[in-house]
Chain A
Amino acid sequence: MKKKNRNSMEKNMEKQYLVLVLPGLIIFTIGLIIPLLLAFRYSFTSWDGLSAEKPFAGLQNYINLFRDSDFRNAWWFTFKFTIGNTIIQNVLALVFAVALDSGIKAQKLYRTALFVPCLISAVIVGFVWLKLFSNVLPAINDLLGTNINFLLFGESKTVLSGLLIANNWQWIGYWMLIYLAGLQSIPAELYEAAKVDGANAWTRFFNVTIPMLAPAITICVVGITTGSLKVYDLLVSSTGGGPGRSSVSVIYQTYATAISGRQYGYGSAMSVSLVVVLLLVALIQVKGLKSREVQQ
């Protein structure tokens, strides 16, 4: 009798969970799963995105991806942008978090100042840095009589640096807060015990702080990597993919091909390839980093 009651209670609980999950699941399915499946389907066609017919093209689009030098260049730029962001943002966010956690004065002011840029849309950030690099900083150059090259968006050799500056300026504060929260949750006893054992500041940082921050590192690394792989809006308002093709990202190339270039089928194949890479990268990172996490 008791077992029967427990079973019916479990069933009721399951129903409740289902009801709670359902709205999110429906939105997720309509907004993500169905478009993903449609993109996968279109990637096997030579559809132009306009006409009613969607001629089947088999694997041709995927074969063309390997021959397309523009697509390869887009991946190369995206890869460099992602690596740069992942290293710089993680290191600087952690450095700032440690600095703010050390009890310096005006901590709230610094925290706010570093966090505010991430509240701004990436499109606005692109415009702001375009103006800064093209007008404001050269004007300061003239004023001071210096000759520093601030025209970073104007040359293919420097455009990546300019974009990394803009992107890191926007996001460091956000990831810093995550590290800060992680730092503040590390028990003080661990540091005290390490001190008693004779550990200096560096040893405490590498043997206590970093291992205890592993969950935050996982979140930050995966977040920054996947976010950088998807860069688009920053580029639209700052470089427009240029000069030339020097800052065309995978999503930028996909959009240009599928929408402006009226090659929806081919563009879909590009987007499918990006999804696969995103999933793989996230999976490898989560697996790799999770194994290093320390349970408190």
Chain B
Amino acid sequence: MKKKVISMILGTAMIAGVLAGCGGTQEAAPAAGGEEAAPAESGEEASAAEAGEEAAAQTEGPVTLTVLAGQSTTDAGIEDMIDEALAEQYPDITLEWECVGWDGEFHPKMQQYLQSGLPDIIIGKAQDVATYQAQGALAPIDTAYLDRGLDAARENVTFDGSTYGLVYNAQYQGVYYNRAMFEENGWEVPKTQEELQAIIDDCKAKGIIPFASHMVDTWSIGNVTMQFMMNDVFNKTPDWGDKFRAGEVSFSEDKAAQTAYQYNKLIYDNTYPETFSTEQTDCDARMVLGEAAMKVSGDWSIQNFLDIDENFDFGIFPFPNQTGDSKLIFEPNIAIMTSATTEHQDAVNCVLDVLSGNKDLAVEICNYTKTATMLKDVSPTWVNPCQSDVDKYAADGMVVDVTLGNNQLVWGGFQEENAMDIAAWLQGDESFEDALAASDGRVDASSAN
């Protein structure tokens, strides 16, 4: 009898321990986050915490989840941070990571896994959600976790009322400029092409290279072209990609799209002569050292800038368009997706609980990647020299989500191929008309669906 009582007490204590362990740490995590600990648990947070507890309670024994992470260079290393946080909150869950480069390897891996079975968790970019949800490969994310994120995070990852990606962080893209150089030369942030041209002319007169660029990386051409397309094309015609597929517009006929392509020539004519042999690190270093005044890029350059000189003072402005109303580009970056066929949905939910609920982890990741968070009540502590500019554009409503363009004109097979033709045109191997016609010829590959 005694044995039965003792075993019952032990059993009850174990179950209570597991429940308390999963739920307790969930509440304890923000407390370790210093300033983030103060706010009382909101209704959304409470429901998410409950969801986490529920998921954890249903997780039996140790579980290993497979994760495919398509990473940018700035993201490499965050997997260790996630592992550490997960081990604290849910020690029974282990992640088996497969980290690959987003640009070259992520999509081939996904193609392979779509045939052989997807990993439990997929980490890519927000623009990937459209591609893979269309294949029925992704499971909708529970609103309990989504509610911990900013509303803006859901916009372009929601399809037919269901949200298939938990957008974790975001980056801004535009023209980074050497603030000290601008002040010394009395240059104002340009809003129009004429103002930009005046700065370029002055740069040249003073022996300063107007733009830093590394066109050896074709992706950088593709990236800036989409920035140009956003402000000259999509801001005016938000469904330009759909119209392109419907045959209503084309690169060969649309002046705005042609202008967006032509901006590449403006950069090429005003950058390092050896841009097709200059790698990103060298390019960024030369800008930090004062050789160049501006660089059309994204937050991934910030990591380089600050690694080279932590005191480098820079700002950001949107690349001026033809109408002088350019917006700063905002790109939801890391997006967590989950497999529609996972056998461990409860454990997957625990991971989502950690990712969306652990504010210390969110701060650590944003500080490391030098990006902005997409979670509520999280304030990264790294000092972003261009934050004041970002805040100003955000306050003025002059920020646009590039996922709009990326969802309509996909990267793989379209944007990256177009970038090769643009490079060939800049090198004089193709005519401008041929580059435009090549983009038109790829219309069938322009959509994820």
Q: Of B71-79, B168-176, B212-220, B310-318, which binds chain A?
A: B212-220
- Chain B residue at minimal CB-CB distance from A51: B135
Q: Please, which residues of chain A bring their CB within 8 A of the CB of B110?
A: 50
A155-B413 contact in complex given A243-B423, A243-B427, A244-B423, C-beta closer than 8 Å: no
* B239 at the A interface (CB under 8 A): no
In angstroms, Cα B275 to Cα A133, docked, is 13
Q: Please, which residues of chain B bring their CB within 8 A of the CB of A16?
A: none
B108 touches A245 (CB 8 A): no
Q: Please, which residues of chain A bring their CB within 8 A of the CB of B215?
A: 243
As a 0/1 sequence over residues 416 to 440 of chain B, the CB contacts with chain A under 8 angstroms (1 = contact) are 1100110111111110000000100
- Chain A residue at minimal CB-CB distance from B278: A134
Instruction: Give, as a whole number of angstroms, the nearest-CB distance from B312 to chain A.
Output: 22
* B274 at the A interface (CB under 8 A): yes
- Chain A residue at minimal CB-CB distance from B110: A50
In angstroms, Cα B200 to Cα A193, docked, is 77
As a 0/1 sequence over residues 243 to 277 of chain B, the CB contacts with chain A under 8 angstroms (1 = contact) are 00000000000000000000000000000001111
- Chain B residue at minimal CB-CB distance from A46: B444
* B62 at the A interface (CB under 8 A): no
Q: Of A163-171, A180-188, A219-227, A255-263, which binds chain B?
A: A255-263
A244-B412 contact in complex given A50-B111, A134-B279, A154-B276, C-beta closer than 8 Å: no
* A126 at the B interface (CB under 8 A): no
Q: Please, which residues of chain A bring their CB within 8 A of the CB of B150?
A: none
A156 touches B111 (CB 8 A): no
A245 touches B276 (CB 8 A): no
Q: Please name 19 pairs of A and B residues whose Cβ atoms are closer than 8 Å in the assembled complex, sorted by A.
A: A49-B114, A154-B276, A156-B424, A156-B427, A236-B104, A240-B216, A242-B423, A243-B423, A243-B427, A244-B426, A245-B429, A245-B430, A256-B416, A257-B413, A259-B108, A260-B107, A260-B413, A262-B111, A264-B111
B412 touches A49 (CB 8 A): no
As a 0/1 sequence over residues 206 to 235 of chain B, the CB contacts with chain A under 8 angstroms (1 = contact) are 000000000111100000000000000000
Instruction: Give, as a whole number of angstroms, the nearest-CB distance from B273 to chain A.
Output: 9
Majority SS of interface residues in chain A?
Answer: loop
Q: Please, which residues of chain A bring their CB within 8 A of the CB of B309?
A: none
Range for the number of chain A residues in contact with chain B? 20 to 34
* B139 at the A interface (CB under 8 A): no
A245-B424 contact in complex given A134-B278, A153-B277, A263-B445, C-beta closer than 8 Å: yes
A50-B114 contact in complex given A156-B424, A243-B427, C-beta closer than 8 Å: yes
A240 touches B417 (CB 8 A): no
* B35 at the A interface (CB under 8 A): no
Other 16 A-B pairs with CB < 8 A, given A50-B135, A70-B417: A51-B135, A70-B438, A130-B279, A151-B274, A154-B274, A155-B427, A156-B429, A236-B104, A240-B217, A242-B216, A242-B218, A242-B276, A242-B423, A261-B413, A262-B111, A264-B111
Which residues of chain A from 59 to 105 have a CB within 8 Å of any chain B CB?
Answer: 69-70
A49-B111 contact in complex given A156-B427, A156-B429, A240-B218, C-beta closer than 8 Å: yes
In angstroms, Cα B430 to Cα A263, docked, is 24
As a 0/1 sequence over residues 238 to 276 of chain A, the CB contacts with chain B under 8 angstroms (1 = contact) are 001111111010000000110111111000000000000
Q: Please, which residues of chain A bring their CB within 8 A of the CB of B107?
A: 259-260, 262
Instruction: Give, as a whole number of angstroms, the nearest-CB distance from B286 to chain A.
Output: 12
Which residues of chain B from 100 to 114 have a CB within 8 Å of any chain A CB?
Answer: 104, 107-108, 110-111, 114
In angstroms, Cα B279 to Cα A248, docked, is 19
A244 touches B430 (CB 8 A): yes
Which residues of chain A from 121 to 150 have a CB within 8 Å of any chain B CB?
Answer: 130, 133-135
Instruction: Give, as a whole number of angstroms, the nearest-CB distance from B324 to chain A.
Output: 32
Q: Please, which residues of chain A bring their CB within 8 A of the CB of B104?
A: 236
Majority SS of interface residues in chain B?
Answer: helix
Q: Please, which residues of chain A bring their CB within 8 A of the CB of B201?
A: none
A261 touches B420 (CB 8 A): no
Q: Please, which residues of chain A bring their CB within 8 A of the CB of B216?
A: 134, 153-154, 240, 242-243
- Chain B residue at minimal CB-CB distance from A68: B441
As a 0/1 sequence over residues 394 to 427 of chain B, the CB contacts with chain A under 8 angstroms (1 = contact) are 0000000000000000001110110011011111
In angstroms, Cα B275 to Cα A153, docked, is 11
In angstroms, Cα B108 to Cα A69, docked, is 24
B420 touches A133 (CB 8 A): no
- Chain A residue at minimal CB-CB distance from B430: A244
* B41 at the A interface (CB under 8 A): no
The 8 closest A-B pairs by CB, nearest first: A244-B424, A261-B413, A154-B277, A154-B276, A244-B423, A260-B412, A151-B277, A259-B108
* B282 at the A interface (CB under 8 A): yes
In angstroms, Cα B218 to Cα A236, docked, is 12
In angstroms, Cα B412 to Cα A281, docked, is 33
Q: Please, which residues of chain B bring their CB within 8 A of the CB of A256?
A: 413, 416-417
B276 touches A241 (CB 8 A): no
A259-B429 contact in complex given A153-B216, A243-B215, C-beta closer than 8 Å: no
Instruction: Give, as a whole number of angstroms, the nearest-CB distance from B318 to chain A.
Output: 27
A135-B111 contact in complex given A155-B276, A261-B413, C-beta closer than 8 Å: no
Specify which of A134, A261, A263 lies most central, judged by the most chain B CB atoms within 10 Å of its CB: A261
- Chain B residue at minimal CB-CB distance from A153: B277
A245-B421 contact in complex given A50-B135, A154-B216, A156-B427, C-beta closer than 8 Å: yes
Instruction: Give, as a whole number of angstroms, the nearest-CB distance from B158 to chain A.
Output: 21
Q: Please, which residues of chain A bring their CB within 8 A of the CB of B114?
A: 49-50
- Chain B residue at minimal CB-CB distance from A135: B282
Instruction: Give, as a whole number of angstroms, the nearest-CB distance from B262 to chain A.
Output: 17
In angstroms, Cα B215 to Cα A156, docked, is 13
A259-B427 contact in complex given A154-B274, A240-B217, A243-B215, C-beta closer than 8 Å: no
- Chain A residue at minimal CB-CB distance from B105: A259
Instruction: Give, as a whole number of angstroms, the nearest-CB distance from B304 to chain A.
Output: 16
As a 0/1 sequence over residues 85 to 115 of chain B, the CB contacts with chain A under 8 angstroms (1 = contact) are 0000000000000000000100110110010
In angstroms, Cα B120 to Cα A273, docked, is 37
In angstroms, Cα B274 to Cα A70, docked, is 25
Q: Please, which residues of chain B bring their CB within 8 A of the CB of A262?
A: 107, 111, 412-413, 445
B429 touches A246 (CB 8 A): yes
In angstroms, Cα B131 to Cα A69, docked, is 27
In angstroms, Cα B429 to Cα A153, docked, is 15
- Chain A residue at minimal CB-CB distance from B442: A261
A243 touches B274 (CB 8 A): no
In angstroms, Cα B123 to Cα A183, docked, is 57
B412 touches A261 (CB 8 A): yes
Q: Please, which residues of chain A bring their CB within 8 A of the CB of B428?
A: 156
Q: Please, which residues of chain B bring their CB within 8 A of the CB of A242?
A: 216, 218, 276, 420, 423
Instruction: Give, as a whole number of angstroms, the nearest-CB distance from A42 to chain B.
Output: 12
Instruction: Give, as a whole number of angstroms, the nearest-CB distance from B211 to chain A.
Output: 17
